[in-house]
Amino acid sequence: MENYDPQAIEEKWQRVWKDERAFEVPNPDPGELERHSQKTYVLEMLPYPSGDLHMGHVRNYMLGEVVAHFRRRHGFAVMRPMGFDAFGLPAENAAIQEGQNPREVTPRNIAAIRSQMERMGWAIDWNRVLATHEPTYYRWTQWLFLRFFEKGLAYRKEAPVKWCPNDQTVLANEQVVDGRCERCGAEVEARNLEQWFFKITDYADVLLEEMSLLEEWPERVLTMQRNWIGRSQGADVLFRVEGFAEEIEVFTTRPDTLFGATFFVLAPEHPLVPRLVEGTDHETEVLDYVRHTGARSAVEREQKEKDGVFTGRYVLNPVNDERIPIWIADYVLMEYGTGAIMAVPAHDERDYTFAERYGLEIRKVVEPADGSASQQGPFSAHTENERLVNSGEFSGSSAPEGGRAIVERLAAQGLARTAIRYRLRDWLLSRQRYWGAPIPIVYCDECGIVPVPDEELPVLLPEVTEYLPKGRSPLAAAEDWVRTTCPKCGREARRETDTMDTFVDSSWYFLRYADAHNDHGPFDRELVDYWLPVNQYIGGVEHAILHLLYARFFVKVMNDLGMIGFREPFARLFTQGMLYRDGAKMSKSKGNAISPNEYVERHGADAARMYLLFIGPVEQDAEWQDNGFEGIVRFLNRLWRIVLEQGEKPIVEPLPDTPLARQAHRTIAKVTDDIGRRFALNTPIAAVMELVNEIHRHPDDPAARFAAETAVSLVQPYASHIAEELWERLGHERLWEQPWPKADASLLERETVEVVVQVNGRIRDRLHVAPDLPDQELVALARASDRVRSFLDGAEARRTVVVPGKLVNFVT
């Protein structure tokens, strides 16, 4: 028998698929959209071309691969495109590491990844490929920016921003994780800079409310977004500063604890601070503290022991005119709330720590309603089961009711109002980096900020020789490019030299695929409305509050602008686990990445494709193991042998009702349910392996050939090349287009039991048979088992013990 030769087979079928454009799906003609209702859009997050793919990536793309094949064979027109997130820090830093211009390195990296993907044999519609650094793409990124600008959703302002000293650029809040740069891990610094922002805060409520449309998203991702948006309900309360005309507003979620406010804290950056202490004994100490804070990083501020200084000034508590000392402390941040808080140490952990340290009064104002002792520590849960104490006329009311009453009374005096605040901040999109889409804006001394007219797009990224980050955009050095004329008045003007955050590029790429070659607009609405929302989106959970939030925002704005007909981009989201090796997440930087190249070279793409899904449930992290991979290689060889053996037999029709026929149908049912409903992609492989083992044990079962064909058909989404080759050798054609097999319900209904087969009392095999199978047939089946035969070794059984539905024992 001919040996399994993955190299030859894979090359052959990849050529066929390419020549036949097997996985390209044409757009329906206008007016025909109705007829093409059976469509599905499967999409994995597009990769950064920052180097070769490693096995971790291969695992991710296998998810979409299986779903795409599965749906195609269920009769859907499947769109599964691919692109490259080619602008931005990942690609640029990869180029800088090589000491080369990203303009040259990026296309090379894209070509390398694409050829790896092609070598994996993935069913991708390459006709729709895009790369975000190409002018044909970023022209429309710029065009969209201008639509946002017209609506006041893109604006420029000076603001305190997060600065990565390593990457030499500002970062969006979403790109700062625990005070560190999401890309490089450097501690971020604070700076005041004029920057461009998207007004995502206008959509804070909508982004929350419309999560109700995301029934098929993982709860974990929704929770992360909810927390990031951070809607909290409470009250704005005004505190008068004693001896000053000013009032300071604070936001509190716990107005019920107003009587427990025993001190007041301003952020060191609060604009009122210098005036409060001017000419007083406290001036030197306070201003020193403010200066020291300025030198501290955000991380330090979060993590160090809470400290602060007294200003010598007081505010008056609006509920009872009590004098409350004003402190300056850097645990209060200017960018959240108003930069001022009323401190209630009895019921807030941070205030409590601070009060303990400086000996400030701690006054309990909430306690359990049933009079039981308060919980240990400074907390209360703000529930109906708690009541107010030490709160004047409000004492005795339940905590929520008391809070409402306090706000009502203050509101009548103009000192408070109920308020909703969000943690979410506007999306900072400027980057002081070379490798990004230029922001299409011109600054004119006469006209101010002037958008570049649509017909002048794209604003091409100039070629520069100095592309390294220096703290100001390298584009500023391209003087001929910067100098331009004002589109409005024609006078000399300057171009914006910052580039856009790469997350802008990826906030709409999934729309472009629907109409990838359009050169008169970003896309035709009709086509986008036809293909979108994405039916199955696949990507890492690390994008929960980055790409996944931004893309939702973009789609909502575009829907509000009448550009598209839906509110959410991704109907169903799947977040896959990570691939580990030697106990650490597989990555190039950790030095534990395995390239698919050498493995594919040796054992073929099918083995890698299959192993990476076999390794464990796709939503969980998994550990790469060479011996596991070898196991799959052995399985493919066995599949090859067994199917070719069966291929020499005639097809028996109608299908006889044998144990193997039933197992084949059960396998169909299981694999179909696992992939289609449960998104369990590892268990189908085990089920097919079991089926193949059964064929091996019962090669003469009249349904063996049918079972072999079934195994080939079911394994096709995983090991597409070998499946196609075997299918052809079985005398059929084009398995990738064949209808997915259907389980015969009448065969499924029949229950089976497991019967143990022993030789001289030792278990040698297990059979799955109908519970009412006559003893005679059961013994015949048991005797036919290869394994049993090898143990009998030609000897005749002296005695045969049968326990119906349980056991057959041959005694020699």
Among 9, 58, 63, 181, binds Zn ion (CB under 5 A): 181
3-state secondary structure 612-648: HHHCCCCCCCEECCHHHHHHHHHHHHHHHHHHHHHHC
Closer CB to Zn ion, 175 or 391, in the complex: 175
- # residues near Zn ion by CB under 5 A: 13
The distance of closest approach from Cβ of residue 530 to Zn ion in the complex, given in angstroms and rounded to an integer, is 40
Closer CB to Zn ion, 389 or 447, in the complex: 447
The distance of closest approach from Cβ of residue 305 to Zn ion in the complex, given in angstroms and rounded to an integer, is 27
Q: Does 174 bind Zn ion (CB under 5 A)?
A: no
Rg (CA), the chain: 34
The distance of closest approach from Cβ of residue 443 to Zn ion in the complex, given in angstroms and rounded to an integer, is 9
Closer CB to Zn ion, 162 or 254, in the complex: 162
The distance of closest approach from Cβ of residue 484 to Zn ion in the complex, given in angstroms and rounded to an integer, is 11
Neighbours of 381 (CB within 10 A): 12
The distance of closest approach from Cβ of residue 464 to Zn ion in the complex, given in angstroms and rounded to an integer, is 21
* Tally of residues, the chain: 812
Strands (E), 262-415: 263-266, 308-316, 323-329, 340-343, 366-368, 386-388
Among 147, 183, 585, 696, binds Zn ion (CB under 5 A): 183
Closer CB to Zn ion, 168 or 693, in the complex: 168
The distance of closest approach from Cβ of residue 614 to Zn ion in the complex, given in angstroms and rounded to an integer, is 37
Token pair of 797 as six digits: 């059984």
Contact letters for Zn ion, residues 108-147 (x by CB under 5 A):
----------------------------------------
The distance of closest approach from Cβ of residue 529 to Zn ion in the complex, given in angstroms and rounded to an integer, is 39
Q: Does 20 bind Zn ion (CB under 5 A)?
A: no
Closer CB to Zn ion, 180 or 270, in the complex: 180
Q: Which of 423, 456, 424, 414 is nearest to 438 (CA)?
A: 456
Q: Three-state SS for 116?
A: helix
Closer CB to Zn ion, 313 or 433, in the complex: 433
The distance of closest approach from Cβ of residue 87 to Zn ion in the complex, given in angstroms and rounded to an integer, is 16
Residue 354 half-sphere exposure, CB side, CA atoms within 13 Å?
25
The distance of closest approach from Cβ of residue 487 to Zn ion in the complex, given in angstroms and rounded to an integer, is 8
Structural contact between residues 667 and 710, judged by C-beta atoms closer than 8 angstroms: yes
- What element of type H or E holds 663? helix 659-673
Closer CB to Zn ion, 486 or 688, in the complex: 486
Distance CA 736, CA 734 (A): 5
DSSP H helical ranges for 448-501? 479-482
Closer CB to Zn ion, 486 or 726, in the complex: 486
Binding range to Zn ion, per CB under 5 A, among 303-311, 447-455, 476-484, 505-513:
447-455
Strands (E), 540-606: 573-575, 579-581, 584-585
Binding range to Zn ion, per CB under 5 A, among 72-80, 342-350, 478-486, 719-727:
478-486
Binding range to Zn ion, per CB under 5 A, among 184-192, 433-441, 467-475, 729-737:
184-192
DSSP state of 572: B
Q: Does 184 bind Zn ion (CB under 5 A)?
A: yes
Closer CB to Zn ion, 176 or 644, in the complex: 176
Backbone angles phi, psi at 508, to 5 degrees: -140, 5
Type of residue found at 219:
E
The distance of closest approach from Cβ of residue 110 to Zn ion in the complex, given in angstroms and rounded to an integer, is 23
DSSP state of 674: I
Q: Three-state SS for 187?
A: strand
Binding range to Zn ion, per CB under 5 A, among 185-193, 211-219, 341-349, 556-564:
185-193
The distance of closest approach from Cβ of residue 507 to Zn ion in the complex, given in angstroms and rounded to an integer, is 21
- Integer angstrom CA distances of residue 373 from 254, 366, 386, 447, 643: 21, 11, 11, 67, 74
Residue 806 half-sphere exposure, CB side, CA atoms within 13 Å?
4
Q: How many helices and strands in the chain, by DSSP H and E?
A: 27, 34
Structural contact between residues 449 and 101, judged by C-beta atoms closer than 8 angstroms: no
Closer CB to Zn ion, 121 or 436, in the complex: 436
Closer CB to Zn ion, 446 or 777, in the complex: 446
DSSP H helical ranges for 296-393? 298-303, 349-358
The distance of closest approach from Cβ of residue 58 to Zn ion in the complex, given in angstroms and rounded to an integer, is 27
Closer CB to Zn ion, 184 or 795, in the complex: 184
Closer CB to Zn ion, 181 or 461, in the complex: 181
Token pair of 221 as six digits: 């991702």
Cα of first residue to Cα of last residue in the chain, in angstroms, is: 35
The distance of closest approach from Cβ of residue 621 to Zn ion in the complex, given in angstroms and rounded to an integer, is 25
Q: Three-state SS for 7?
A: helix
Binding range to Zn ion, per CB under 5 A, among 174-182, 303-311, 408-416, 733-741:
174-182
DSSP state of 438: B
Structural contact between residues 759 and 782, judged by C-beta atoms closer than 8 angstroms: no
- CA 336 from centroid of its chain's CA atoms: 26
**Of 483-542, which residues contact Zn ion (CB under 5 A)?**
486, 488-489
**Of 610-669, which residues contact Zn ion (CB under 5 A)?**
none
The distance of closest approach from Cβ of residue 485 to Zn ion in the complex, given in angstroms and rounded to an integer, is 8
Q: Which of 366, 371, 266, 405 is nearest to 326 (CA)?
A: 266
The distance of closest approach from Cβ of residue 586 to Zn ion in the complex, given in angstroms and rounded to an integer, is 22
The distance of closest approach from Cβ of residue 31 to Zn ion in the complex, given in angstroms and rounded to an integer, is 45
Distance CA 727, CA 738 (A): 11
Distance CA 630, CA 636 (A): 10
Taking the CA atoms of 47, 439, 102 and 172 in sequence, report the sign of the dihedral they define: negative
Binding range to Zn ion, per CB under 5 A, among 127-135, 372-380, 439-447, 701-709:
439-447
User: 172-199 b/e with 16+ CB inside 10 Å = b?
Assistant: bbbbbeebbbbbeebbbebeeeebbbbb
Closer CB to Zn ion, 482 or 612, in the complex: 482
- Cα dihedral 12, 15, 19, 23 in deg (nearest 10): 100
Among 63, 319, 444, 689, binds Zn ion (CB under 5 A): 444
DSSP state of 33: T
Contact letters for Zn ion, residues 153-172 (x by CB under 5 A):
-----------x-xx-----
* Interface contacts to Zn ion, rule CB under 5 A: 164, 166-167, 181, 183-184, 186, 444, 446-447, 486, 488-489
